[in-house]
């Protein structure tokens, strides 16, 4: 784990997003609150909050940070047939909360999958990304489209050479 003992305590904030593509049948069932396991959006929000709080337990070498606030929004985008998750995490600390925000968004997305898999396994979790971070030495902000969903290059990378992992 990185030694942060010499760093000063500052206000930290990070936002992360995940998108879960669910198709027309599951979209309709979530909209009508007819998924057998219950209210998908509310349970995904709660799971995301729980995930943020447990980040240091599941990510090796991640600092255990006392969080000030975790807000997870899970919204059904009916036209796009997906659930968009936005997690915002805040703390007063010596290190950032990006991992907590990314974990919150990821756990919420996995919860949507878990709750809907009885209907269909044709569910795709994509676009897990850091949206913004502040506090500490560096700031980061991804350009926003409409304030919730983002416009970015979704095309696969065109690799000139085949990819080989470092470890086989």
Residue 3 among the catalytic residues: no
Report yes or no: 84 and 149 within 8 Å, Cβ to Cβ. yes
| Residue 168 confidence (pLDDT) | 44
Average pLDDT over residues 140-158: 59
Cα–Cα distance for residue pair 62/65, rounded to 1 Å: 9
| H or E element in which residue 110 lies | helix 98-116
Q: What is the pTM of this model?
A: 0.85
Distance of CA 38 to the CA centre of its chain: 21
How far apart are the C-alpha atoms of 60 and 55, rounded to whole Å?
9
DSSP 80: T
Task: Return the pLDDT at 162.
Answer: 57
Q: Does residue 117 carry a pLDDT above 70?
A: yes
One CATH from 3.40.50.720, 3.30.70.640, 3.30.429.10, 1.10.1040.10 for 10-138: 3.30.70.640
Contact 19, 110 (CB under 8 A): no
- Per residue in 5-61, pLDDT (tens digit) is 999 999 999 999 999 999 999 999 999 999 999 999 999 999 999 999 999 999 999
pLDDT tens track for 47-90? 999 999 999 999 999 999 999 999 999 999 999 999 999 999 99
Which residue in 114, 127, 145, 158 is the catalytic one?
114
* CA angle, 65 then 19 then 24, to 5°: 145
**Domain residue spans in the chain?**
10-138
């Amino acid at each position: 784990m990185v030694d942060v003992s010499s760093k000063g305590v500052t206000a930290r904030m990070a936002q992360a997003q995940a998108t879960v593509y669910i198709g027309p049948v599951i979209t309709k069932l979530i909209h009508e609150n007819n998924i057998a396991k219950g209210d998908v959006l509310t349970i995904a929000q709660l799971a995301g909050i729980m995930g943020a709080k447990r980040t240091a337990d599941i990510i090796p070498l991640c600092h255990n940070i006392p969080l000030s606030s975790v807000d997870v929004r899970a919204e059904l985008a009916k036209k796009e047939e997906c659930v968009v998750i936005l997690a915002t995490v805040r703390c007063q600390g010596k290190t950032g909360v990006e991992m907590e925000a990314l974990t919150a968004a990821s756990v919420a997305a996995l919860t949507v999958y878990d709750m809907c898999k009885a209907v269909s396994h044709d569910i795709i979790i994509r676009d897990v990304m850091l949206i913004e971070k502040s506090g500490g030495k560096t700031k980061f902000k991804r350009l926003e489209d409409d304030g919730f969903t983002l416009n970015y290059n979704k095309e696969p990378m065109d690799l000139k050479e085949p990819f080989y992992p470092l470890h086989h």
